[in-house]
Amino acid sequence: MDVEKVVGRGHSQESKSKQAVEYPEFDHAAEKKLVRKLDLYIVPIIMLLYLFSFLDRVNIGNARLYGMEEDLGLQGNQYQTAVSILFVTYLLSEIPSNLLLKKLRPSRWISAITTSWGIIATLTGITQNYSGLIACRILLGLVEGGLFPGATVYLTLFYTKRELALRIGYLFVSAAIAGAIGGLLGYGIGFLDGIAEQRGWRWILIIEGLPSFVLGIATWFLLADSPETAFYLSTEEKQLMKLRRDRQAGQTESAQRFHKADVYAAFKDWKVYAFCVGQFGTDTMLYGYSTFLPTIIKGLGSWSTAQTQALTIPCYCLGALSYVVIAQISDSQQRRGLYTVIFGGISVIGYGILISDAGMGVHYFACFLVAMGLYVTVGLPLAWLPINQPRYGKRTTATGMQLTAGNASGIMAPFLYPSSEGSRFIKGHAVTLAMVGMANLIFAFMSWYLSKQNDRRRHGKEEAKVAHLSETEILELGDESPKFVYTV
């Protein structure tokens, strides 16, 4: 494991000499065993939570194929409004939810919101009109909004910066699995059309909503609140967890507590806003693709509903596989910007082909290119920003801001693909291409800028700014410390 040494300067002549902060050595084999145990107890439940969250949020796309618009009398852009209205309350709840996470305990808070959205998602299946659908979507966004930012911050409590991208990547694997499963479930549940005099779209929403309710109750008992209180860690393993945290620059005891000053610091940091704008661009692709892929593929040919569902599955599988592979490479190399930009470029090429006047087979191939870059481009920045924020309050707020900005694109994305513009959806593809291209430019710049900052710090050009501070005070500066090394 990479051991970071923090060197500080105090007021006395003795403390002004450079001194490395030494940490006791530990068994790296024991650390690997510890990480495997963390993965066993944390990753499955976090993946399931996000899988069902994503499924309950976007299964309206599959329900659309089974007569929902007709039954509820939706006209014009009412379907797009129902899709997008969820994101209004979704994004408004993200930052407050993150600020409440530690105070209310992760296990209790995440359990409460999961159980709530399970109930709401299930009851959406019995709504009778447009107004009822809108009410359900507003409430669903309100309770679901806290999950992803909360899960991201939760993972930072247990994993180091060299382990985080892959674990956050598992959330996007869950999203991809949800897309694939959604297609399979939609296909299977569609055969229930007419059972108990209910249409297939109702069964899709009801059956896919119930597991979230059950999982929410289980989360209360299965999710640990912190490494210190984790029931599955021995005393020795808890000590090892503390040592792992202490070996990361800026991860002091005080930094792990919530301070209002850290919240304000996040709102004043221009780098956080840059990531927010970039995330908005990439999430435009995420929500447009995830919600409308069945509609896009159906427009490529004379497919039946079942065939359309089946053709979405390989796209999601490629997207999941791409992210897992790249996340592991990114973690090992500690490079985020390079792979974000490369795979964002692949998605841009995919949208360019979708816009072109090519054949059906070529357009379907383009859907694979978009999927290949999708989760990498969306996911890596969500691991990139928090690992560069060692102080809990700033990390929590910055992550909430990033996700709020990104999910705001969910309000816009549905209107990029109106039914009147099928089957080519040229405007939607063109706008999405431009948004991903913009995000690529931002992330390329941030990678360059952070590299330059690291060079300045490596050559001691920032030392003068902290010459008057003690070693403890330097440690408390977090990412502003000249001893902190940014991940680029």
CB atoms within 10 A of CB 20: 10
CA atoms within 13 A on the CB side of 369: 19
Among 7-16, 47-56, 421-430, the range of highest mean pLDDT: 47-56
Among 27-36, 129-138, 179-188, 281-290, the range of highest mean pLDDT: 129-138
Banded pLDDT at 351 (limits 50, 70, 90): very high
Banded pLDDT at 18 (limits 50, 70, 90): very low
Give residue 259's pLDDT: 81
Structure tokens at 53: 């969250």
Give residue 120's pLDDT: 96
d(CA 30, CA 12): 39
d(CA 75, CA 70): 9
d(CA 53, CA 177): 12
What is the DSSP code (8-state) at residue 205? H
The answer to whether 65 and 203 have CB atoms below 8 angstroms apart is no
Q: Following DSSP, what letter does each residue of 301-334 receive, concatenated? A: TT--HHHHHHHHHHHHHHHHHHHHHHHHHHHHHT
d(CA 332, CA 320): 19
Residue type, 278: G
Banded pLDDT at 15 (limits 50, 70, 90): very low
pLDDT above 60 for 21? no
CA 212 to chain centre: 19
Task: Region of 9 please: left (phi>0), alpha (psi -120 to 50) or beta.
Answer: beta
CB atoms within 10 A of CB 12: 9
φ and ψ of 20, to 5 deg: -85, 140
Give residue 341's pLDDT: 98
d(CA 290, CA 286): 6
Give residue 343's pLDDT: 98
Structure tokens at 354: 């979708």
Residue type, 242: K
Find where tokens 């008992």 sit: 221
Q: Which residues contact 452 (CB under 8 A, 6 or more apart)?
A: none
The Cα angle at residue 42 between residues 39 and 44, in degrees rounded to 5: 85
Residue type, 461: K
pLDDT above 70 for 22? no
249-288 pLDDT tens trace: 555 666 677 788 999 999 999 999 999 999 999 999 988 8
Closest CA to 384 of 400, 399, 404, 405: 399
Give residue 311's pLDDT: 86
Give residue 247's pLDDT: 77
Banded pLDDT at 10 (limits 50, 70, 90): very low
Among 279-293, 388-402, 436-450, the range of highest mean pLDDT: 436-450
Question: Is residue 412 exposed (0-12), middle (13-18) or buried (19+ Cβ within 10 Å)?
Answer: middle
The answer to whether 133 and 205 have CB atoms below 8 angstroms apart is no
Banded pLDDT at 67 (limits 50, 70, 90): confident
Give residue 253's pLDDT: 66
Give the lowest-confidence range in 95-99, 233-237, 255-259.
Answer: 255-259
d(CA 68, CA 79): 9
Q: Which residues contact 385 (CB under 8 A, 6 or more apart)?
A: 272, 275, 398, 399, 402
Structure tokens at 382: 């969500």
296-347 pLDDT tens trace: 788 777 787 778 878 888 898 899 899 899 999 998 998 999 999 999 999 9
Give residue 291's pLDDT: 67
Per cent of the chain over pLDDT 70 is 92
Structure tokens at 367: 């859907």
CA 369 to chain centre: 20
Give residue 25's pLDDT: 63
The answer to whether 329 and 349 have CB atoms below 8 angstroms apart is no
Give residue 122's pLDDT: 95
d(CA 440, CA 449): 14
CA atoms within 13 A on the CB side of 443: 34
φ and ψ of 278, to 5 deg: -60, -40
Average pLDDT over residues 451-462: 91
Averaged confidence pLDDT in the chain: 87
Closest CA to 376 of 295, 462, 451, 443: 443
The answer to whether 369 and 353 have CB atoms below 8 angstroms apart is yes
Give residue 252's pLDDT: 63
The length of the chain is 488
Give residue 450's pLDDT: 97
pLDDT above 90 for 19? no
pLDDT above 50 for 2? no
Average pLDDT over residues 355-363: 89
Closest CA to 49 of 146, 157, 192, 138: 146
Give residue 250's pLDDT: 55
Collapsed DSSP state (helix, strand, coil) of residue 236: helix
Structure tokens at 325: 């592979």
